[in-house]
Amino acid sequence: MIWKWFCQKMAAYWRWVARSQADKAALALARAEEWRRRAGL
């Protein structure tokens, strides 16, 4: 259960990075998607 929570937090973090740093947005969104998949959503 903690793993799913952790994955969700990581996905949220990467989405925040994408918003705050436009130059890294594509990379960050890919990372967020990766974490979202790991959480099994």
Q: pLDDT tens, 12-33?
A: 999 999 999 989 999 999 999 9
Q: What is the pTM for the complete model shown?
A: 0.72
For tokens 């925040």, what's the residue?
A: 16
Structural domain of 18: 2-38
Measure the CA–CA gap between 24 and 19, rounded to whole angstroms.
9
Residue 41 in this model has a pLDDT that exceeds 70: no
Amino acid letter at 9? K
How far is Cα of residue 23 from the mean position of the Cα atoms in its chain?
16
Number of domains in the chain: 1
Measure Cα distances from 15 to 4, 40 in Å: 17, 17
The CA-CA-CA angle for residues 7, 23, 32, to 5°, reads 15
Q: Say what the pLDDT of residue 26 is.
A: 94
